[in-house]
C-alpha cells in the first residue's frame, strides 16, 4: 500500500469525525461547504423482515436449484463490501416494527413502534430524503408493498401513525419526491378512497407522470417526476406472479429499481433511492417458505441492479440490509434435510394462493388432490381433515398480521415442515441482530457493529463534501 496515500486518507477520515454534531445533524447539507463528495448517490436496499435464516435459505435454494450463488452472498465471497451486524431495536421495544425501524434510518432517532419520525413529546425529526432534497438531490422509493407503507414512509415523512396511508399519499406529492413506485391504488384512486379525493390528479397537476402497469415502464418519459402504482394493495408475491399469467402485468422489484435509477441518474447533484422487498416480511408473517424464498431472490436481483450501476458509476454508495428479523425461519437437522429442502422447488404457488382456493364444501380427497397438485405433498386423511376443519369452523380461525382471510397458515406450515425441514419460531417480528453490507464510496465508514440510527448519520457523512 502507498503509505502517503494511506496517511492522507486517514487524515481525511479523522477530519470528518471531528465535525461538530451541529454540522453532522444539520438539516441543510449545503451548510457543510467543502470540496469533493465521497458519494454522489445513495441506494439503500431493505429486505423487510429478513432473518438470517431467510438469507441463508434463499442462497441455498439458489445454489441447489438454480445452480448459482446469490448476488448478496457473492459480494461477501468476493470481498467487495464492508460488513456489519446491526441492532434493530425501537424506542419502545427490543423488537421493532417497520415504522420505528425505518424512522431510525430516516430520522436518526429511535421512536416508538407505530409512528414515523415523531419523538415522545411530539418532536418532528426531519426525514433524510427531505434533507437530501433540500441539498438538491433527487429522491425516490420503490417497494413491493404499498408505496405509502411504513418503510418508504419512514425515509420521507413525519406521521403520528404508520396507518395514515391516505394522508401519506398526499404528503409525497407535496414534498415533490421524484420517483415513487409500488402498490396502493386504494390510497390514490377516488373510487376507492372514503373521501373520494383524486390523489392521482394532484400528482398530475404537479407534473408527475402516472404509471399503472408494467408496460408503462417501457414508455416512461425520461427525467420527469414519476408515480408508479401497479396494484391495489401490495404487489403480488414473486412465485405467484411467475406462475399466474394474470399477475404478470406487474413489474418486478428489479425492473422498478432499474427504472427509478434511470430516471434519476443524470441529475447533476445526484440522487438517493430506497428499494424495499416488502413482501419478504409478509411471507415470514405467514410462515410461507415458497413465498419467502422467491421474494428474497427477487430482492437479490434488485441488489444486482444496484451493484451493477454502482460498479460502473463509481460515485454511488449501496447499503444492503433489513429493518428487523421475522419468524426466524431455519433449516432443521435431519438425515434427509437437503433432499427435503430441495423439494420446495416443487411448490408452484404461495400458501396464500393454495389455502385461499380451499372451501368448506371440499371433501378430503379434493383437499389432498389440491395439495398434491400445488406442492407435491401427499397428505394423510388426518392432515386433510385438520386443514378442512379451519374452513368448517371446527378449528379456531388463525389471526396474524396480513392474514386478512384468516387462512390456516401456521397449521399448513407445520404440515410442510415434515416434508421440507423448515421450521419457524413464531409468526411475528424478532429482535435479531441483522446483516448489513455496504459497497462504494463511504462504505469504509462502517463499523463492525452498529445501531440502526447510525445509518442515518453515516449516509450524511458519506455525502459530505470534504477537502482532498
Query: What does 136-186 look like in DSSP terms, one character per residue?
Result: T-EEEEEEEEETTSHHHHHHH--BS-TT-HHHHHHHHHHHT-SEEEEE-GG
The pTM score is 0.91
**Domain chopping of the chain, boundaries:** 3-323+436-462, 330-423
CATH for the stretch 3-323+436-462: 3.40.720.10
Task: Check: CB of residue 341 under 8 Å from CB of residue 422.
Answer: yes
User: Which pLDDT does position 464 carry in this prediction?
Assistant: 66
Give the list of residues 6+ apart from residue 400 with CB closer than 8 angstroms, or none.
285, 286, 409, 410, 427, 428
| Angle at the Cα of 88 from the Cα atoms of 86 and 89, rounded to 5 degrees | 140
How is residue 21 written as a grid cell?
454534531
Spatial CB neighbours of 29, under 8 Å, sequence gap ≥ 6: 131, 132, 134, 135, 460, 463, 464
CB-side exposure of 426: number of CA atoms within 13 Å?
13
CA triple 172-204-262, angle to 5 deg: 70
pLDDT in tens, the chain (468 residues): 343 333 333 333 333 333 333 333 434 443 333 334 589 999 999 999 999 999 999 999 999 999 999 999 999 999 999 999 999 999 999 999 999 999 999 999 999 999 999 999 999 999 999 999 999 999 999 999 999 999 999 999 999 999 999 999 999 999 999 999 999 999 999 999 999 999 999 999 999 999 999 999 999 999 899 999 999 999 999 999 999 999 999 999 999 999 999 999 999 999 999 999 999 999 999 999 999 999 999 999 999 999 999 999 999 999 999 999 999 999 999 999 999 999 999 999 999 999 999 999 999 999 999 999 999 999 999 999 999 999 998 888 887 778 788 899 999 999 999 999 999 999 999 999 999 999 999 999 999 999 999 999 999 999 965 433
Q: CA–CA separation, 373 vs 363, rounded Å?
A: 16
Give φ, ψ of 53 to 5 degrees: -60, -30
pLDDT at position 20 is: 34
The per-residue pLDDT for 122 is 95
Please list the residues that pair with 435 across neighbouring strands: 85
CA 50, CA 72: separation in Å to the nearest integer? Answer: 13
CA–CA separation, 325 vs 40, rounded Å? 30
> Please, where are the H alpha helices in 198-317?
199-205, 238-243, 253-264, 279-285, 289-313
Residue 256: CB atoms within 10 A of its CB come to 28
* Residue 195: per-residue pLDDT: 97
For residue 80, CA distances in Å to 73, 193, 300, 320, 385 come to 10, 46, 16, 13, 52
CA distances from 23 to 42, 124, 203, 239, 461 (A): 20, 18, 34, 47, 10
Amino acid at each position: 500500500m502507498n503509505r502517503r496515500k494511506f496517511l492522507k486518507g486517514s487524515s481525511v477520515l479523522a477530519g470528518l469525525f471531528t465535525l461538530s454534531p451541529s454540522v453532522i445533524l444539520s438539516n441543510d447539507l449545503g451548510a457543510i461547504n467543502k470540496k469533493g463528495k465521497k458519494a454522489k448517490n445513495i441506494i439503500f436496499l431493505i429486505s423487510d423482515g429478513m432473518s438470517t435464516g431467510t438469507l441463508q435459505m434463499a442462497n441455498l435454494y439458489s445454489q441447489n436449484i438454480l445452480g448459482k450463488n446469490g448476488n448478496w452472498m457473492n459480494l461477501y465471497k468476493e470481498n467487495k463490501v464492508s460488513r456489519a451486524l446491526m441492532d434493530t431495536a425501537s424506542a419502545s421495544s427490543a423488537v421493532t416494527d417497520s415504522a420505528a425501524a425505518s424512522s431510525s434510518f430516516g430520522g436518526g432517532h429511535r421512536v416508538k413502534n407505530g409512528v414515523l419520525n415523531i419523538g415522545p413529546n411530539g418532536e418532528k425529526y426531519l426525514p433524510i430524503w427531505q434533507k437530501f432534497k433540500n441539498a438538491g438531490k433527487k429522491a425516490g422509493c420503490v417497494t413491493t408493498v404499498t408505496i405509502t407503507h411504513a418503510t418508504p414512509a419512514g425515509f420521507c415523512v413525519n406521521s403520528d401513525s404508520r396507518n395514515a396511508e391516505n394522508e401519506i399519499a398526499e404528503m409525497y406529492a407535496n414534498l415533490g419526491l421524484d420517483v415513487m413506485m409500488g402498490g396502493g391504488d386504494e390510497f390514490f384512486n377516488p373510487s376507492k378512497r372514503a373521501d373520494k379525493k383524486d390523489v392521482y390528479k394532484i400528482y398530475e397537476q404537479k407534473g408527475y407522470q402516472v404509471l399503472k402497469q408494467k408496460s408503462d415502464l417501457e414508455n416512461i418519459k425520461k427525467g420527469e417526476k414519476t408515480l408508479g402504482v401497479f396494484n391495489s394493495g401490495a404487489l403480488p408475491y414473486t412465485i405467484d406472479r411467475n406462475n399466474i399469467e394474470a399477475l404478470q402485468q406487474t413489474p418486478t422489484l428489479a425492473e422498478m429499481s432499474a427504472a427509478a435509477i434511470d430516471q434519476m441518474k443524470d441529475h447533476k447533484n445526484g440522487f438517493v433511492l430506497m428499494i424495499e422487498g416488502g413482501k419478504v416480511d409478509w411471507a415470514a408473517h405467514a410462515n410461507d417458505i415458497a413465498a419467502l424464498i422467491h421474494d428474497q431472490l427477487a430482492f437479490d436481483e434488485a441488489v444486482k441492479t444496484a451493484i451493477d450501476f454502482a460498479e460502473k458509476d463509481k460515485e454511488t454508495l449501496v447499503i444492503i440490509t433489513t429493518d428487523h428479523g421475522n419468524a426466524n425461519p431455519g433449516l432443521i437437522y435431519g438425515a434427509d434435510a437437503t433432499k427435503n429442502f430441495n423439494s420446495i422447488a416443487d411448490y408452484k404457488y404461495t400458501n396464500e394462493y393454495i389455502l385461499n382456493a380451499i372451501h368448506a364444501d371440499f371433501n378430503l380427497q379434493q383437499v389432498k388432490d389440491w395439495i398434491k397438485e400445488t406442492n407435491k405433498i401427499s397428505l394423510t386423511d388426518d392432515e386433510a381433515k385438520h386443514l378442512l376443519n379451519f374452513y368448517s369452523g371446527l378449528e379456531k380461525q388463525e389471526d396474524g398480521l396480513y392474514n386478512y382471510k384468516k387462512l390456516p397458515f401456521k397449521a399448513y406450515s407445520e404440515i410442510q415442515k415434515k416434508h421440507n425441514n423448515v421450521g419457524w419460531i413464531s409468526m411475528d417480528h424478532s429482535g435479531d441482530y441483522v446483516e448489513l453490507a455496504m459497497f462504494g464510496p463511504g462504505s469504509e465508514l462502517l463499523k463492525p457493529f452498529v445501531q440502526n440510527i447510525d445509518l442515518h448519520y453515516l449516509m450524511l457523512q458519506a455525502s459530505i463534501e470534504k477537502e482532498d
